[in-house]
């Protein structure tokens, strides 16, 4: 028998699951497919719709279930995300992809921190926005949230910034490619696309619009970027602990165990022990978990909190976007 407390948590989880199912349904419609809007993106939008409409009319006792989705389910989703990758795919694409990905990730994070200070932004929000721009959009923001220990509304704002600029890029890159403005070979364009677009969905959408020759390389380059999430989170945790160290006290390091789980799953998947159908099923389940986490974050975000964040997060994301466009382009031409 469930206690009343467990029943209330279950109510919150079921509410988020219901919104997540709606996100999957909407993602399968023609308008959403044409824009390459994934269930994750639609989930946070539905969660925000709930936060600004029904939230005040439902029991507060359901909140723990919503928080469970934005914390525990989030970490489980990040771990299972590793089933999308193998170490063999990294070896196949070679050193150029690893080199440009490392330069883009390190450069974006460093620039984001410096610009955040210059703009006098909230430190947590600047770090989340920079991480999302540097690695893999919403999934990276979600992964960094437990390490940064940011408030849910800050996470939602950071996700919104990378979604906006990533979506712009998804349409811009194919247009630039078809117009012949960039002057890149298909191999260079695949490298450029995978190393600079925000979301995996954005890379898939833009790559498919430019042809399979570009899409295949772009996706692998992007997934190498995703693999860098784990070491980035570990370094971030160590640096944050050193920064918050006070007096003679010892700083507490938040070990992102889920990030190590993410790498362990990649290693297991590299052994090719599971049939493709099983891996595909796990990936579908993982997408649902991450969609629930995104929906829960949206459910904790009201318009008032967006107003409180102001325009600076979007300005920071825009400046980082310009760096990705220009810096990534130069790196792509230089490496290949």
Q: What average pLDDT does the structure give for the chain? A: 84
List, for residues 20-74, the tens digit of each pLDDT value. 999 999 989 998 887 767 787 788 888 888 888 876 667 777 888 888 887 788 7
Prediction pTM value: 0.74
Q: pLDDT value at position 255?
A: 62
Q: Rounded mean pLDDT of 111-128? A: 93
**Rg of the chain over CA atoms, in angstroms?**
20
Under the banding of pLDDT at 50, 70 and 90, the label for residue 4 is low
Q: Above 60 in pLDDT, residue 251?
A: no
What is the C-alpha separation between 160 and 167, in angstroms, rounded? 11
Task: Tell me the two tokens of residue 218.
Answer: 């772009």
Q: pLDDT value at position 1?
A: 46
Q: Above 60 in pLDDT, residue 246?
A: no
Tell me the C-alpha to C-alpha distance, in Å, between residue 271 and each of 57, 98, 223, 225, 295.
50, 21, 17, 21, 33
Q: pLDDT value at position 49?
A: 86
For residue 24, how many other CB atoms are within 10 A of its CB? Answer: 16
Tell me the C-alpha to C-alpha distance, in Å, between residue 89 and each of 85, 96, 153, 220, 261.
7, 13, 36, 7, 19
> Which tops the pLDDT comparison, 194 or 247?
194
Task: Tell me the two tokens of residue 80.
Answer: 């299972």
Cβ partners under 8 Å of residue 152, min gap 6:
70, 296, 297, 300, 301
For tokens 């430190």, what's the residue? 123
For residue 303, how many other CB atoms are within 10 A of its CB? Answer: 10
Tell me the C-alpha to C-alpha distance, in Å, between residue 48 and each of 15, 61, 156.
13, 19, 9
Q: Above 80 in pLDDT, residue 314?
A: yes
Task: Tell me the two tokens of residue 14.
Answer: 């079921």
Q: pLDDT value at position 249?
A: 45
Q: pLDDT value at position 23?
A: 92
List, for residues 262-297, the tens digit of each pLDDT value. 889 989 999 999 999 999 999 999 889 988 988 887
Q: Is there a contact between 132 and 148 (Cβ–Cβ < 8 Å)? A: no
List, for residues 147-163, the tens digit of each pLDDT value. 888 887 888 889 888 87
Q: pLDDT value at position 247?
A: 44
35 exposed, middle or buried (CB, 10 Å; 0-12, 13-18, 19+)? middle
> In angstroms, how far is the first alpha carbon of the chain from the final one?
62
248: three-class secondary structure by DSSP: coil
Residue spans of alpha helices (H) in the chain: 4-27, 30-34, 39-51, 63-80, 87-93, 95-118, 123-134, 138-148, 152-179, 186-196, 200-210, 212-227, 229-243, 257-270, 276-299, 303-309, 312-335
Q: pLDDT value at position 18?
A: 94
List, for residues 171-186, the tens digit of each pLDDT value. 899 889 988 888 899 9
Nearest 5°: the CA angle 113, 141, 255 is: 85
Tell me the C-alpha to C-alpha distance, in Å, between residue 244 and each of 182, 206, 247.
44, 41, 10
Q: Is there a contact between 107 and 330 (Cβ–Cβ < 8 Å)? A: no
């Amino acid at each position: 028998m469930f206690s009343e407390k467990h029943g209330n948590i279950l109510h919150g989880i079921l509410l988020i699951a219901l919104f997540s199912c709606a996100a999957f349904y909407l993602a399968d419609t023609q308008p959403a497919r044409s824009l390459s809007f994934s269930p994750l993106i639609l989930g946070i939008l539905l969660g925000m719709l709930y936060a600004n409409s029904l939230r005040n009319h439902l029991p507060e006792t359901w909140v723990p279930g919503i928080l469970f989705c934005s914390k525990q389910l989030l970490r489980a989703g990040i771990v299972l995300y590793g089933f999308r990758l193998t170490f063999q795919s990294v070896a196949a694409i070679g050193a150029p992809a690893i080199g440009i990905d490392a330069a883009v990730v390190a450069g974006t994070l460093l620039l984001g921190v410096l610009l955040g200070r210059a703009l006098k932004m909230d430190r947590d929000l600047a770090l989340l926005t920079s991480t999302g721009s540097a690695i893999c959009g919403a999934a990276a923001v979600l992964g960094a949230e437990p390490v940064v220990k940011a408030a849910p509304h800050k996470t939602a704002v950071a996700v919104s910034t990378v979604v906006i600029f990533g979506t712009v890029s998804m349409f811009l890159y194919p247009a630039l490619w078809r117009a012949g403005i960039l002057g890149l070979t298909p191999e260079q364009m695949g490298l450029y696309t995978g190393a600079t677009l925000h979301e995996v969905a954005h890379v898939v959408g833009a790559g498919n619009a430019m042809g399979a020759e570009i899409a295949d390389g772009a996706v692998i380059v992007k997934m190498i970027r995703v693999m860098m999430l784990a070491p980035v989170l570990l370094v971030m945790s160590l640096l944050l602990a050193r920064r918050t160290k006070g007096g003679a006290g010892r700083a507490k390091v938040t070990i992102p165990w889920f990030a190590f789980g993410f790498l362990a799953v990649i290693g297991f998947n590299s052994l090719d022990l599971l049939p493709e159908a099983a891996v595909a099923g796990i990936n579908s389940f993982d997408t649902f978990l991450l969609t629930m986490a995104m929906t829960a974050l949206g459910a904790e975000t009201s318009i008032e909190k967006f107003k409180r964040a102001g325009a600076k997060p979007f300005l920071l994301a825009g400046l980082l976007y310009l760096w990705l466009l220009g810096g990534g382009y130069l790196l792509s031409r230089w490496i290949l």
